């Protein structure tokens, strides 16, 4: 028996707004082991009964079951149904799968709606929201209706008295000058014959609000605007398009102030009753203005939207030592507070947000810098009222109640966690409670900062898409959540923002490319701009989306060629602005940049990016480029050795990060490897086997040790509980990853007030080592997306069990091991249509699941097909 299950289109279940050539994926279900798909047949139909077939692939001999493209250009703005039948290597033919569906987006360049605004050209200083309202007539019963909308700013949409969808902070943040996303909604059930009313509330958001630590606003324009295009398909076969135009009306609304950094002021007394119903009196509303906009830049949503994903109840309310009343939600997160209140008209609720308490237990906001993170809500009175902010989000664990009418309790407040709608894919649990909490903290660092773009932090006056933070963390991110759509969207903005010479900004979307720092002009930073190569490659390896790699390849090439233009004899000199090993503990007093020379780091990353570009060229069949960049990588490696190693094999920079990068990026000659490893161990010993690394050294230090005969030391580093270590913040009550190893010092004082985020995921990159070494799960880059997996758990550190799962594109991958004395028991599950290599640690294999293992000196390995297996190894050597 074999069956196709879990059908997705563009990696989403039943999506709305897909390309007209969508891509299909499915998984296999079978009662046999070692199941591989040998052929498949796809059908796309205009109806769910498949009586009106639009495209039939016929039976195709093909093993691929992810990102399979539709060969026919489908009609825009139509719901389509699809199904798949498969044949496997056991001569089984499946039934047709259950049907899935999708709705295609508008055709290319078909978004032609007029942008309308309730503001005027000199509204740049306004942080208020506006309300826009339009009426239209539906002539008869609609068979289907799809609404496509976007904004210059952020918006929320209503139709005939009901909110449309549940997306927050739409349309998201992109390179607005070249890419503006529109969202698609099925509104068939909300339409009625006769007069219908659409209403949009629009706020400043990223478009014209305060964004960036330079204190600037109006980065893209001074006027918010909204555009909508509604396609109605009638029962009689006719269609009609309704769009925003000059006949719409505008008004001020209840959102009197809203800024992403500073919070929101909302006056419920100003809510117009039934304003999106036909009976509403619009006579007091004003005319809208129209804006000239380039419709060619308006494109369908191409990443997961932001949604409210989880709710945390208030754990406790307490009075701080200074007398302030504080609510603790028990988890540092990004989102907003859902307020429940009852009182009189004109009563006001005010509260402020914070991540941490100070050493005395008081509410602490100095690390927010200029961000206010305050909410003010004025009651309309008379009924129970529920309020959630419209156009802002905050980073917080605590709120301080600054004003509240009457009595309150924990039931009045809930914390709503919002982040991009990325399904969870990985889970990790082991016998060490501290590591389980660390994985939790890493995951919540990701959730908190993957809100439409990968931000550095969610609370202070920054919240920018820093490229360095994203590239060091992306492999860990791939284990935790489905990153395919999220990084596709962000990488497209990166490509759009790439400068003509190939340079990449520090942040994407780019509001800093002309930024002057310390009176120096903008230049790209090593380890940050290399995200242009690293992020596409890692996304490809862990999702299997080769089209993303193909699309990103010109950007990847342009960046490597930029570095080549800046290098001399294969070396990258430290001209311009580099962040180096950011916030490393071996930095000089008063500096954020660690002691590792920036030219060494730059050359190491030049080599790494060239190596990944070579691999990408191979995968894309670009043979000439593959040879070219392979040769370049060899030249860089030779130059690195000549410049940074002495003839006797001593690495010139005696820092942890220098040795880690030289080892992990393959820049250490074989004859120098032992000395380099020994020196790294010596330096660690000088730090009492603690870290001194920053953003660029930390992600790889455990790998540099475990891959070079020092697995025990890697475990020791990971399991340290005193400062500086990954577990030290947990001892201080952390529920996310900190920006600094000592954000909160042992004596309770803060590292600093100006740059001290307690929700900053970069150091959480260690999670990929936890998943791939402790859990033992990894994807073979030569067969990406876990088409071929490597299961190789390496016990150590006194850990006696670990169960790690990964929801791959093909199904769930499981590695579940226990250690009793020196006996290891391993249970694994390999998804159908994939294979794996099982690598067992050195010892006597007493239960082998019928497989033939080969010994390689470090352990034994065997090839295996899909299914569930059990292995037992006795006399295991545990580090």
pLDDT of residue 205: 98
pLDDT of residue 523: 84
Residues 273 and 146 in one domain: yes
Average pLDDT on 107-118 reads 94
Among 264, 462, 611, 716, the one annotated catalytic: 462
How far is Cα 70 from Cα 360, in angstroms, rounded to an integer?
62
In a domain, 703, yes or no: yes
CA torsion through residues 666, 668, 673, 675, sign: negative
The residue among 587 and 800 whose pLDDT is bigger is: 800
Band of pLDDT at residue 572, cut at 50, 70 and 90: confident
Residues 51 and 124 in one domain: no
Instruction: Give the tens place of pLDDT for each residue, 538-561.
Output: 999 999 999 999 999 999 999 999
pLDDT of residue 877: 84
In a domain, 472, yes or no: no
pLDDT of residue 544: 98
> Domain total for the chain?
6
Give the number of other CB atoms < 10 A from CB of residue 401: 17
Residues 339 and 383 in one domain: yes
Alpha helices in 420-570 (DSSP H): 433-449, 467-480, 484-497, 531-543, 546-566
Instruction: Give the tens place of pLDDT for each residue, 137-147.
Output: 999 999 999 99
Residues 315 and 337 in one domain: yes
Residue 645, token pair as written in the block: 């190693």
Instruction: Establish whether 707 is a catalytic residue.
Output: no
Residue 328, token pair as written in the block: 């603790």
Instruction: Give the tens place of pLDDT for each residue, 765-788.
Output: 999 999 999 999 999 999 999 999
Please give the order of strands across the beta sheet that includes 801-808: 426-430, 801-808, 811-820, 823-830, 867-874, 844-847
pLDDT of residue 512: 81
In a domain, 23, yes or no: yes
Q: Are strands 298-300 and 413-420 parallel, antiparallel or unpaired?
A: unpaired
Q: Which residues pair with 874 in a beta bridge?
A: 844
In a domain, 123, yes or no: yes
pLDDT of residue 430: 98
Residues 154 and 235 in one domain: yes
CATH number at residue 338: 2.60.120.260
In a domain, 382, yes or no: yes
Instruction: Give the tens place of pLDDT for each residue, 508-524.
Output: 999 887 555 455 667 89
Alpha helices in 123-259 (DSSP H): 205-208
CA angle 784, 787, 788 (to 5 degrees): 95
- On the question of pLDDT at 845 being above 80, the answer is yes
- On the question of pLDDT at 496 being above 70, the answer is yes
CATH number at residue 807: 2.60.420.10
- On the question of pLDDT at 350 being above 60, the answer is yes
In a domain, 747, yes or no: no
CATH number at residue 81: 2.60.40.10
Q: What is the CA radius of gyration of the chain?
A: 28
Residue 835, token pair as written in the block: 């294979």
Residues 199 and 331 in one domain: no
pLDDT of residue 548: 98
Among 355, 439, 716, 739, the one annotated catalytic: 739
pLDDT of residue 831: 98
Give the number of other CB atoms < 10 A from CB of residue 743: 23
Average pLDDT on 465-492 reads 98
Query: 587, 622, 644 — which closes off a domain?
Result: 644
In a domain, 456, yes or no: no
How far is Cα 661 from Cα 652, in angstroms, rounded to an integer?
13
Instruction: Give the tens place of pLDDT for each residue, 335-348.
Output: 999 999 999 999 99
Residues 59 and 21 in one domain: yes
Residues 678 and 611 in one domain: no
Residues 146 and 295 in one domain: yes
Lowest mean per-residue pLDDT among 190-199, 227-236, 617-626, 750-759: 750-759
Query: 623, 644, 665 — which closes off a domain?
Result: 644
Q: Which residues pair with 825 in a beta bridge?
A: 818, 872
- On the question of pLDDT at 713 being above 90, the answer is yes
- On the question of pLDDT at 423 being above 70, the answer is yes
Q: Which residues contact 422 (CB under 8 A, 6 or more apart)?
A: 304, 450, 481, 482, 483, 485, 486
Residues 311 and 294 in one domain: no
- Segments of 531-595 assigned E as strands: 567-568, 571-572
Nearest CA to 617 out of 606, 602, 601, 632 is that of 632
- On the question of pLDDT at 573 being above 90, the answer is no
Report the percentage of the chain scoring pLDDT > 70. Answer: 99
Nearest CA to 535 out of 564, 492, 586, 595 is that of 492
pLDDT of residue 596: 96
Query: 301, 328, 345 — which closes off a domain?
Result: 301
Average pLDDT, the chain: 96
Please give the order of strands across the beta sheet that includes 194-203: 162-163, 154-159, 194-203, 130-138, 249-252, 286-287
What's the number of CA atoms in the CB half-sphere (13 Å) around residue 263?
Answer: 21
In a domain, 742, yes or no: no
Average pLDDT on 597-607 reads 95
pLDDT of residue 516: 53
Residues 586 and 633 in one domain: yes
Instruction: Give the tens place of pLDDT for each residue, 267-290.
Output: 999 999 999 999 999 999 999 999
pLDDT of residue 514: 55
Instruction: Establish whether 847 is a catalytic residue.
Output: no
The values of phi and psi at residue 256, to 5°, are: -90, -15
Band of pLDDT at residue 576, cut at 50, 70 and 90: low
Instruction: Give the tens place of pLDDT for each residue, 166-190.
Output: 999 999 999 999 999 999 999 999 9
Tokens 């936890």 belong to 770
Instruction: Give the tens place of pLDDT for each residue, 38-51.
Output: 999 999 999 999 99
- On the question of pLDDT at 527 being above 80, the answer is yes
pLDDT of residue 697: 97
Please state the separation of Cα 713 from the chain's center in Å. Answer: 31
Residues 285 and 320 in one domain: no
Band of pLDDT at residue 755, cut at 50, 70 and 90: confident
- On the question of pLDDT at 405 being above 80, the answer is yes
Helix 670-686 / helix 656-664 crossing angle, nearest 10 deg: 150
Instruction: Give the tens place of pLDDT for each residue, 723-746.
Output: 999 999 999 999 999 999 989 999
Inter-residue contact 788 to 833 (CB < 8 Å): no
pLDDT of residue 872: 97
Nearest CA to 538 out of 622, 584, 602, 479 is that of 479
Torsion angle of the four alpha carbons 195, 196, 200, 201, in this order, in degrees rounded to the nearest 10 = 80
Tokens 């060239």 belong to 610
- Segments of 345-494 assigned E as strands: 348-354, 356-357, 363-364, 374-378, 385-387, 394-403, 413-420, 426-430, 450-451, 453-454
Inter-residue contact 105 to 18 (CB < 8 Å): yes
Instruction: Give the tens place of pLDDT for each residue, 668-690.
Output: 999 999 999 999 999 999 999 99
- On the question of pLDDT at 332 being above 90, the answer is yes
Determine the straight-line distance between the first and last CA of the chain, rounded to whole angstroms.
Answer: 44
Residue 706 belongs to domain spanning: 654-719
How far is Cα 199 from Cα 278, in angstroms, rounded to an integer?
11
């Amino acid at each position: 028996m074999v069956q196709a299950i879990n059908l997705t289109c563009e990696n989403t279940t039943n999506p709305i707004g897909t390309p007209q050539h969508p891509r299909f994926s499915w998984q296999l279900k079978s009662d046999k082991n070692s199941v591989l798909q040998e052929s498949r047949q796809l059908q796309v139909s205009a109806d769910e009964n498949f009586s009106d077939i639009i495209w039939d692939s016929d039976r195709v001999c093909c093993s691929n079951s992810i990102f399979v493209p539709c060969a026919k250009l489908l009609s825009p703005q139509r719901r389509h149904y699809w199904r798949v039948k498969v044949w496997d290597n056991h001569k089984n033919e499946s039934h047709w799968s259950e049907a899935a569906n999708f709705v295609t987006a508008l055709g290319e360049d078909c978004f032609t709606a007029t942008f309308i605004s309730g503001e005027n050209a000199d509204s740049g200083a306004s942080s208020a929201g506006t309300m826009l309202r339009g009426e239209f007539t539906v002539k008869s019963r609609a068979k289907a209706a799809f609404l496509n909308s976007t904004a210059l700013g952020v918006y929320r949409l209503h139709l005939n008295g009901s909110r449309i969808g549940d997306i927050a902070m739409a349309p998201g943040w992109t390179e607005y000058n070249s890419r503006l996303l529109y969202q698609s909604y099925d509104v068939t059930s909300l339409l009625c014959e006769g007069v219908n009313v659409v209403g949009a509330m629009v706020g400043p958001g990223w478009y014209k609000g305060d964004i960036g630590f330079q204190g600037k606003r109006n980065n893209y324009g001074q006027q918010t605007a909204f555009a909508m295009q509604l396609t109605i398909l009638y029962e009689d076969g006719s269609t009609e398009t309704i769009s925003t135009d000059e006949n719409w009306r505008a008004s001020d609304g209840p959102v009197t102030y809203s800024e992403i950094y500073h919070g929101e002021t909302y006056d419920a007394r100003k809510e117009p009753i039934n304003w999106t119903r036909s009976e509403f009196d619009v006579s007091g509303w004003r005319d809208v203005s129209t804006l000239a906009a380039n419709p060619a830049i308006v494109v369908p949503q191409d990443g997961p939207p932001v949604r409210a994903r989880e709710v945390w109840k208030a754990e406790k309310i307490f009075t701080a030592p200074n007398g302030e009343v504080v609510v603790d939600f028990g988890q540092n997160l990004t989102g907003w507070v859902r307020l429940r209140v009852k009182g009189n008209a004109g009563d006001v609720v005010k509260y402020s947000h914070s991540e941490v308490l100070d050493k005395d237990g008081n509410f602490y906001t100095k690390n927010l810098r200029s961000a206010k993170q305050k909410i003010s809500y004025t009651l309309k009175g008379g009924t129970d009222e529920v309020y959630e902010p419209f156009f802002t989000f905050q980073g917080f664990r605590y709120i301080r109640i600054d004003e509240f009418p009457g009595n309150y309790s924990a039931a009045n407040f809930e914390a709503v966690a919002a982040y991009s709608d990325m399904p969870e894919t990985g889970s990790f649990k082991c016998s060490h409670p501290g590591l389980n909490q660390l994985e939790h903290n890493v995951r919540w660092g990701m959730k908190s900062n993957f809100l439409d773009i990968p931000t550095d932090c969610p609370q202070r006056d920054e919240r920018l898409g820093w490229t360095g933070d994203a590239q060091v963390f992306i492999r860990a991110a791939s284990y935790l959540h489905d990153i395919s759509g999220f990084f596709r969207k962000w990488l497209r903005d990166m490509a759009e923002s790439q400068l003509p010479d190939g340079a990449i900004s520090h942040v994407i979307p780019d509001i800093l490319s002309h930024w002057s720092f310390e009176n120096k002009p903008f230049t790209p930073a090593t380890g940050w701009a290399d995200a242009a190569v690293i992020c596409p490659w890692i996304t490809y390896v862990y999702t299997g989306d080769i089209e993303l790699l193909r699309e990103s390849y010109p950007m990847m090439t342009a960046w490597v060629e930029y570095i080549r233009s800046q290098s001399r004899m294969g070396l990258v000199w430290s001209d311009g602005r580099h962040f180096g090993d950011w916030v490393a503990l071996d930095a000089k007093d008063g500096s954020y940049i660690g002691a590792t020379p920036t030219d060494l780091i730059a050359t190491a990353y030049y080599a790494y990016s060239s190596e990944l570009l070579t691999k990408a060229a191979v995968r894309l069949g670009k043979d000439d480029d593959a040879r070219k960049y392979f040769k370049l990588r060899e030249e860089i490696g030779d130059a690195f050795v000549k410049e940074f190693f002495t003839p006797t094999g001593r690495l010139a920079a005696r820092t942890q990060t220098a040795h880690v990068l030289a080892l992990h990026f393959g820049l250490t000659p074989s004859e120098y490897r032992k000395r380099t490893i020994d020196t790294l161990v010596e330096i660690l010993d000088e730090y009492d086997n603690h870290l001194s690394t920053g953003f660029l050294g930390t992600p790889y230090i455990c790998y540099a040790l475990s891959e070079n005969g020092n697995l025990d030391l890697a475990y020791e580093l990971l399991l340290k509980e005193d400062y500086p270590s990954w577990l030290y913040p947990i001892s201080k009550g952390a529920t996310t990853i900190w920006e600094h190893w000592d954000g909160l010092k042992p004596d309770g004082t803060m590292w600093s007030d100006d740059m001290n985020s307690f929700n900053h995921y970069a150091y959480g990159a260690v999670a990929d080592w936890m998943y791939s070494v402790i859990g033992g799960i990894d994807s073979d880059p030569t067969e990406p997306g876990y088409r071929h997996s490597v299961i190789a758990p390496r016990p150590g550190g006194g850990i006696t069990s670990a169960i790690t799962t990964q929801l791959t594109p093909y199904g769930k991958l499981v590695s579940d091991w226990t250690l009793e004395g020196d006996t290891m028991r391993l249970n694994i599950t390999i998804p159908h249509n994939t294979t794996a290599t099982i690598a067992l640690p050195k010892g006597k294999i007493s239960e082998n699941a019928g497989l033939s293992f080969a010994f390689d000196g470090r352990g034994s390995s065997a090839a295996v097909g899909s299914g569930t297996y059990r292995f037992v190894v006795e006399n295991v050597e545990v580090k």
